[in-house]
């Protein structure tokens, strides 16, 4: 289909984009990579009068490595994250997640911030940034603010972004020593979206006990969520096969799984538990030397 007619403006800066959003309100939409917005325009599920292109704001394309974190600009693409040496060195979970998004064309054009702002319940990034405890930076008419990942996703395609605000960057803590990571998913074959996807982080003490755990799950419910019951079942415990399997059984606790043509609610809950176990086992295998593992 052909989109309805709209005006098109290339934003010169973040402030310029915010001013345009405030001026035009709900009649304006932001364009970053375009993979979320363009299908909505073509099917006329979205009919803005103005499209604001952020593509020429160079400051939004940077990956900045700091002492204890990475700062990922809003226009950083999935491929940039997948290929970045800094990301592989400081937070390889991001690179692993990026490499499982869509196909090469999507990864070359699609952006981290665009995916987060769209908040598709089957997108890959939400699981990773929830597990990492990331922070989303927003700019708007009242200035800048930060929103913790756990507070960012409200419901299906609904986030904490207020009217007139745009994402400027995502701040991600660097992984501590003796930390393992993994992102695993079962994908819908045509689109690559997750029927269920699990991001896991495990920090381990030298005796092989779990010092901290974090699990983010996407594709299962109307929004991505942190599986806090899984983390609670692991922390302070021996990280052996029985303990991991017992913890993974809590992956869908308190969740109302989606039920659609791709998978039933029961199957999604099953996938959440199975993939959580697999992600935790893979994370343990990546912790590295210096640990005396219990049997």
Per-residue pLDDT tens digits for 108-139: 999 999 999 999 999 999 999 999 999 999 99
Tell me: the pLDDT tens digits for 47-103? 999 999 999 999 999 999 999 999 999 999 999 999 999 999 999 999 999 999 999
Tell me: the pLDDT tens digits for 209-261? 999 999 999 999 999 999 999 999 999 998 999 999 999 999 999 999 999 99
Mean pLDDT of 266-272: 98
pTM, whole model, 2 decimals? 0.94
| Sequence-ordered alpha helix ranges (H) in 133-176 | 149-152
Tell me: the pLDDT tens digits for 173-192? 999 999 999 999 999 988 89
Q: In the predicted model, is pLDDT for residue 285 greater than 60?
A: yes
Strand partners for 10? 53
Residues in CB range of 150: below 8 A, 6 or more apart: 130, 133, 226
What pLDDT, on a 0 to 100 scale, did the predictor assign at position 293? 65
- Secondary structure of residue 169 in the 3-state scheme: strand
In the chain, what are the domains? 7-53 (3.30.43.10), 58-173 (3.30.465.10), 179-285 (3.30.390.50)
What pLDDT, on a 0 to 100 scale, did the predictor assign at position 98? 98
Residues in CB range of 58: below 8 A, 6 or more apart: none
57: which 2 tokens?
Answer: 């704001």
Q: How far apart are CA 33 and CA 30, in angstroms?
A: 10
What pLDDT, on a 0 to 100 scale, did the predictor assign at position 15? 97
| Sequence-ordered alpha helix ranges (H) in 25-100 | 37-42, 78-83, 85-90, 92-98
In the chain, which ranges are E strands?
7-10, 28-31, 50-53, 63-65, 69-73, 135-140, 143-148, 153-155, 158-159, 166-173, 179-187, 194-204, 210-218, 225-226
Q: In the predicted model, is pLDDT for residue 295 greater than 70?
A: no
């Amino acid at each position: 289909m052909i989109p309805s007619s709209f005006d098109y403006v290339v934003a010169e800066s973040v402030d310029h984009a915010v001013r345009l959003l405030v001026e035009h309100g709900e009649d304006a939409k932001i364009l970053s990579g375009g993979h979320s917005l363009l299908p909505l325009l073509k099917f006329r599920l979205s009919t803005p009068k103005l499209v604001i292109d952020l593509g020429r704001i160079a400051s939004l394309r940077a990956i900045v490595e700091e002492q204890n974190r990475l700062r990922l600009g809003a226009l950083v693409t999935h491929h940039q994250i997948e290929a970045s040496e800094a990301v592989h060195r400081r937070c390889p979970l991001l690179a692993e997640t990026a490499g499982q998004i869509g196909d090469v064309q999507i990864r070359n054009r699609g952006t981290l911030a665009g995916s987060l702002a769209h908040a598709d319940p089957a997108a890959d990034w939400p699981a990773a940034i929830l597990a990492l405890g990331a922070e989303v930076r927003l700019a708007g008419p009242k200035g800048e603010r930060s929103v913790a990942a756990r507070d960012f996703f409200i419901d299906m395609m609904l986030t904490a972004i207020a009217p007139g605000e745009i994402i400027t960057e995502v701040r991600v803590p660097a992984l501590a020593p003796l930390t393992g990571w993994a992102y695993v998913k079962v994908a819908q074959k045509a689109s690559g979206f997750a029927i269920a996807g699990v991001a896991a982080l495990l920090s381990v003490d030298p005796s092989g006990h779990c010092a901290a755990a974090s699990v983010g799950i996407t594709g299962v419910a109307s929004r991505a969520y942190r599986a806090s019951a899984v983390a609670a079942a692991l922390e302070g415990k021996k990280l052996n096969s029985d303990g991991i399997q017992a913890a993974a059984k809590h992956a869908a606790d308190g969740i109302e799984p989606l039920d659609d043509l791709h998978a039933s609610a029961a199957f999604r809950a099953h996938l959440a538990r199975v993939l959580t176990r697999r992600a935790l086992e893979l994370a343990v295998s990546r912790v590295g030397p210096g640990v005396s593992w219990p049997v």
